[in-house]
Structure 1
Amino acid sequence: MADVQASAPTLVLTNSDLLSWILTFVAAPRMRGSRSKSHDPSRLAPCATVCRAFHEIAIRLLWRSLPSLIPLWHLFAPPNTKRPPSSTLQGDKRPDYLRKVVSARLYDDPQVWERFLCYTTRVRHIAHSTYSSDSPETTVLQLYLIQVIVLKNGGNPVLPLLHSILWAAKAPTDNSLVALFAPTLRSATLSLQSVPGDEETRALLFRRLHESSPHLENIELGSGYNSDKDLAVGPLLVQELLLFDRLRQLTVHCGLSGPATFLAFVAKPNLTSLSVRNVSGPSNAPHSPPTVVRDLVELSIEGTGPTLVGLFELVRFEALESATIRIENSPDVRQETEDVLTAFHNTLTSPSTLRGFTLCIYGWGSKAEGPAISLRDLVRPVLPLQEICSFKFSSHSIRPQIEVADIAALTGAWPNLERLVLDAHPPSSSDAFSLDALHYIHAHCPQLRDLDTHSICLPVLGVHAIPAPLERPSSSAHALRRLWASGVYVYRPEYKPGRIVAEHAEALARYLLELFPALDMEEYKPWVPRPGVRQTSAPGHCLDGRKVLARMYTLTSERERELQ
Structure 2
Amino acid sequence: MTPPPSLYRRSSIIEYLSNLPIRPRLPSIRSRTSRKSTASSLNSFAAAFLAANEQSMLPAILRNADVTNKLLEYIVDSPNGRRSLARLARTCKAFKEPALNVLWRELDSFVPLLALFPNALMKRSRRPGLGLSKTPEPADWERLLAYADRVRSITYNEAYNNVAPTIFAVIEELRPKQFILPKLTALTWKAETAAGLERSRLFLNPGLQSLTIEMGNKYTKMGDFLNYIMEKTALTT
Using the TM superposition, give the Cα deviation of residue 145 of structure 1 relative to its aligned residue in structure 2, in angstroms.
1.0
Distance 1:211 1:15, change over 3 A: same
Are the counterparts in 2 of residues 155 and 179 from structure 1 also a CA contact under 8 Å? Answer: no
Q: Matched residues in 2 for 1:5 and 1:29: separation?
A: 30
Deviation at 1:94, TM superposition (A): 3.7
Question: Percentage identity across aligned positions?
Answer: 26
Secondary structure, counterpart of 2:198 in structure 1: helix
Pairwise CA distance, 1:191: 0.9
Q: State the one-letter code of the partner of 2:112.
A: P
Q: Is the 8 A contact 2:191 2:215 kept in 1?
A: no
Other-structure match for 1:179: 202
Distance between the aligned counterparts of 2:213 and 2:109, measured in 1?
Answer: 15
Task: Give the secondary-structure state (helix, strand or coil) at the position aligned to 1:127.
Answer: strand
Deviation at 1:217, TM superposition (A): 0.7
Does the residue aligned with 1:189 lie in a helix, a strand or coil?
strand
Residue 235 (structure 2) pairs with residue 212 (structure 1): no
Q: Match for 2:109 among 68, 90, 94? A: 68
Taking a change above 3 Å as real, the CA distance of residues 152 and 129 of structure 1, as seen in their structure-2 partners, is same
Contact 1:150 1:158 (C-alpha < 8 Å) held by counterparts = no
Structure 1 residues 53 and 4 mapped into 2: Cα distance closer, same or farther (>3 Å)?
closer
- Distance in 1, matches of 2:83 and 2:66, equals 20
Distance 1:156 1:73, change over 3 A: same
More helix by share: 2
The answer to whether the 8 Å contact 2:158/2:196 transfers is: no
Q: Tell me, yes or no, if the aligned pair for 2:205 and 2:232 is still in contact at 8 Å.
A: yes
Deviation at 1:42, TM superposition (A): 3.0
> CA separation in 2, counterparts of 1:22 and 1:8?
19
CA deviation profile, 1:170-191 (whole Å, cap 9, x unmatched): 1322331111101110001101
Quick one: which of 140, 143, 155 aligns to 1:112? 140
Partner of residue 312, structure 1: none
Deviations 1:43-86 (A, max 9, x none): 3210111221111111111111111010121011516x89x8xx
Q: Tell me if 1:144 matches 2:170.
A: no
TM-score (norm 2): 0.67
* 3-state secondary structure, aligned to 2:207: coil
Count matched residues: 185
| Residue 95 of structure 1: how far off its partner (Å) | 3.1
Instruction: State the partner residue of 1:189.
Output: 212
Instruction: Kindly report which structure 2 residues correspond to 1:413-428, keeping only aligned pairs within 5 A, or say none.
Output: none
Instruction: Specify the SS of the correspondent of 1:206.
Output: helix
Query: 1 CA distance for matches of 2:128 and 2:213?
Result: 28
Q: Match of 1:44?
A: 85
The amino acid across from 2:96 in the alignment is: H
Equivalent residues of 1:47, 1:55 under 8 A apart: yes
- Secondary structure of the 2:187 match is strand
TM-score of the superposition, structure 1-length normalised? 0.30
1:14-33 equivalences under 5 Å are: 14-30=63-79
CA separation of 1:97 and 1:191: change in aligned 2, threshold 3 A: closer
Which whole-Å CA distance do the structure 1 matches of 2:97 and 2:142 have between them?
A: 18
Structure-1 separation of matches of 2:53 and 2:85: 32
Task: Confirm or deny: 8 A CA contact 2:191 2:197 kept in the other structure.
Answer: no
Determine helix, strand or coil for the equivalent of 2:112: helix
Q: Tell me the CA shift for residue 157 of structure 1.
A: 2.2
**Contact (CA 8 Å) 1:14, 1:53: kept in 2 or not?**
no
Deviation, structure 1 residue 146: 1.5
- Mapped to 1, the partners of 2:129 and 2:116 lie a distance apart of 12
Aligned CA-pair RMSD: 3.0
Task: In structure 2, give the amino acid aligned to 1:28.
Answer: D
d(CA) in 1 for partners of 2:158 and 2:54? 54
Kept in 1: contact 2:197–2:215 (CA 8 A): no
Unmatched segments (≥5 aa) in structure 1: 31-38, 85-92, 219-564
| Matches for 1:345-356 after TM superposition, within 5 Å | none
- Larger proportion of strand: 1
Q: Following the alignment from structure 1 to structure 2, what is the Cα–Cα distance between the partners of residues 11 and 103?
A: 48
Alignment of 1:401-440 (within 5 A): none
Post-superposition shift, 1:120? 1.5
> 1:169, CA displacement in angstroms?
2.6
Tell me the residue number matched to 2:28: none
Does residue 10 (structure 1) correspond to residue 63 (structure 2)? The answer is: no
For 1:167 and 1:13, the matched residues in 2 are separated by 36
Equivalent in the alignment of 1:124: 152
AA partner of residue 178 (structure 1): R
- What is the CA deviation profile of residues 411-450 of structure 1, one whole-angstrom value per residue up to 9, with x for unaligned ones? xxxxxxxxxxxxxxxxxxxxxxxxxxxxxxxxxxxxxxxx
Structure 1 residues 170, 97: CA separation in 2 closer, same or farther (over 3 Å shift)?
A: closer
